[in-house]
Amino acid sequence: MKRFRIKSGRALLFVCLTALLTPLSAYGQQAGKKVDIEPPTQEQAGQAKKAGEVTTDTRIHKMLESRLAQNEHLRALSIGTDVENGEVYLRGEVRSGAQRALAGELASNIDGVTGVQNDLVVKSAEPPTGERLSRQASDAALTAQVRSRLMLSNNTSGLAIDVTTENNVVTLRGAVGSDAERELAGLIAGNTRGVTRVRNELQVRPE
């Protein structure tokens, strides 16, 4: 009877230890198990990339506007700017090719810029040299023709009439003896081929 109780006590102790160790073993196995982290979906990756690009574009745009405003050769100009995916777009008008190139260089030197689309248009206050010389030659020829015709007229040949021409517009200055002489000089100038308009500033001063 005594032996039975000892065996029963050992069996009970074994059952208790087994019950106690089983959860700990399972916990240990679970703790040591690798947890798989799912990679972001394509949509999530695209959204993160787009957010990063927007942040970069904003930084580039602010820096570009600051550089243009601080540059003494460009600050007075109205230059439109835009940035998309690192690409800088410039638009507007400048007064010289050097200003156009300068704006492009300032943009391209900003960190993160992938390219510059320079659509700035050069609109100079003065025409190109070749065009200016051609216009001056044309005006000089018209001046000579008007003077020649005034000298060939018996009624205006002895008058002190100054003739100038600018952009095919003839200006008459000086003094004449009557309204008829003033009007005649204007008609002679206006009827000269190539003259588009006459500014008759002749003064009538009867003797």
- Contacts with 183 (C-beta within 8 Å, 6 or more apart), sequence order: none
- Contacts with 87 (C-beta within 8 Å, 6 or more apart), sequence order: 113, 114, 115, 116, 117
pLDDT digits (tens, 9 = 90+) for 118-145: 999 988 666 666 777 788 888 999 999 9
* pLDDT at site 6: 43
Tell me the three state secondary structure of residue 13.
Answer: helix
- Strands 87-94, 115-122: parallel, antiparallel or unpaired by DSSP? parallel
- Return mean pLDDT, the chain: 79
* Cβ-contact 200, 182 below 8 angstroms: yes
pLDDT digits (tens, 9 = 90+) for 160-190: 899 999 989 999 999 898 999 999 999 999 9
pLDDT at 113 over 90: yes
Q: Considering the chain, what percentage of its residues have pLDDT values greater than 90?
A: 41
Domains of the chain as residue ranges with CATH: 44-122 (3.30.1340.30), 129-204 (3.30.1340.30)
